[in-house]
Chain A
Amino acid sequence: MPYRFLEDAPVADVGFVASGDTLAACFQAAADATLAVMLGNPEQLEARQEVQLHVEADTRELALLRFLEEFIYYKDAHGLLLRATAVRVTDGGDGWQVDATAAGEPIDPSRHLLAADAKAVTLHRLQVARIDGGAWEATVVLDI
Chain B
Amino acid sequence: MGDADKPRGAWRQQAVRLGDALWEIPPTAKAGMRVSARIYATPQLLAEMDDGVFEQVTNVAMLPGIVGHAFCMPDGHWGYGFPIGGLAAMDPERGVISPGGIGFDINCGMRLVRTNLTYDEIRDRVPALIDALYQRVPAGVGARGLLRLTDAEFRAVALRGARWCVEQGYGWPEDLERIEERGAIAGADPACVSQRALERGRQQVGTLGSGNHYLEIQVVRPENVFDARAAAAMGIDLPYQVCIMFHCGSRGFGHQIASDYVQRFLPLMERKFGIQLPDRDLACAPFSSAEGQAYFAAMKCAMNMSFANRQVILHRIREVFLDVLGRDARSLGLETVYDVCHNTAKLEEHEVNGRRRRLLVHRKGATRAFAPGMPDVPAAYRAIGQPVIIGGSMETGSYLLHGVATGAQAFFTTAHGSGRTMSRHAAKRQFHGKQLERDLAQRGIYVRTVSYAGLAEEAGAAYKDIDAVVAATAAAGLSAPVVRFTPIGNVKG
B73 to chain A, nearest CB (A): 15
**Distance, CA A73 to CA B262, complexed state (A):** 16
Q: Please give me the residue from chain A that is nearest to B50 by CB atom.
A: A11
Provide the bound-state CA to CA distance between A69 and B105, in Å.
Answer: 15
Give the residues in chain A near B201, CB-CB below 8 Å. 76
Of A11, A58, A73, A75, the residue contacting B141 (CB under 8 A) is A75
Q: Is the CB of B256 closer than 8 A to any CB of chain A?
A: yes
- Tell me if A119 counts as interface (CB < 8 A to partner B): yes
Query: How far apart are the CA atoms of A65 and B251 in the complex, in Å?
Result: 19
Query: Is residue B42 within 8 Å, beta carbon to beta carbon, of the partner chain?
Result: no
- Contacts from A to B (Cβ < 8 Å): 5-14, 38-40, 58, 62, 65, 69, 72-73, 75-77, 79, 81, 107, 109, 112-117, 119-124, 143-144
A116 and B454 contacting across the interface, CB-CB below 8 Å: yes
Flag B409-422 by CB within 8 Å of A: 1 or 0 each: 00000000000111
Contact A120 B453, beta carbon cutoff 8 Å? no
- List residues of B (390-425) whose CB comes within 8 Å of A's CBs: 420-425
User: What is the bound-complex CA distance between A123 and B425, given in angstroms?
Assistant: 20
Q: CB distance A144 to B211 under 8 Å?
A: yes
B residues 68-110 with Cβ under 8 Å of A?
77-80, 84, 104-105
Question: What CA separation (Å) do A116 and B433 show in the bound complex?
Answer: 13
Q: Quick one: given A5-B425, A9-B425, A76-B142, are A117 and B104 in contact (CB under 8 Å)?
A: no
Contact partner of A77 among B200, B258, B262, B283, CB < 8 A?
B200
B144 touches A (CB below 8 Å) = yes
Taking CB as reference atom, which chain B residue is nearest A126? B280
Q: A-facing mask of B305-320, CB < 8 A → 1, else 0? A: 0000000000000000
CA separation between A72 and B263, bound complex, in Å? Answer: 16
Asked whether any CB of chain A lies closer than 8 Å to the CB of B473, the reply is no
Q: Is the CB of B453 within 8 A of A115?
A: yes
**Pair A7/B258 contact, Cβ less than 8 Å:** no
Chain B residues near A14 (CB, 8 Å)? 424-425
B140:A109 contact, CB within 8 angstroms: yes
Interface centre among A14, A38, A114, A144 (most CB of B within 10 A): A114
Q: How far is the CA of A39 from the CA of B210 in the complex (A)?
A: 13
Residues of A with C-beta under 8 A to B104: 119-120, 122, 143
Q: Which residue of B lies closest to A114 (CB)?
A: B141
B281 within 8 A of A: yes
How far does the alpha carbon of A62 sit from the alpha carbon of B280 in the complex, in Å? 12
Chain A residues within 8 Å of B263, by CB: 62, 65
Q: Does B31 contact A (CB under 8 A)?
A: no
A117 and B141 in contact, given A77-B199, A77-B252, A143-B104 (Cβ under 8 angstroms): yes
Give the top 5 A-B pairs by smallest Cβ distance, nearest first. Answer: A76-B252, A117-B210, A77-B199, A76-B200, A119-B255
Contact with A along B56-76 (1 / 0, CB 8 A): 000000000000000000000
B385 within 8 A of A: no
- Please indicate the chain B residues that have their CB under 8 angstroms from the CB of A38 in the complex: 141-142
Whether B487 is near chain A, meaning CB under 8 Å from some CB there, is no
| Chain A residues with CB below 8 A from B262, complex form | 123
Contact: A11 with B77, CB < 8 Å?
yes
Q: Quick check: B141 and A107 within 8 Å, CB to CB?
A: yes
The interface bits of chain B over 227-255 (1 if a CB of A lies within 8 angstroms of the residue's CB, else 0) are: 00000000000000000000000011001
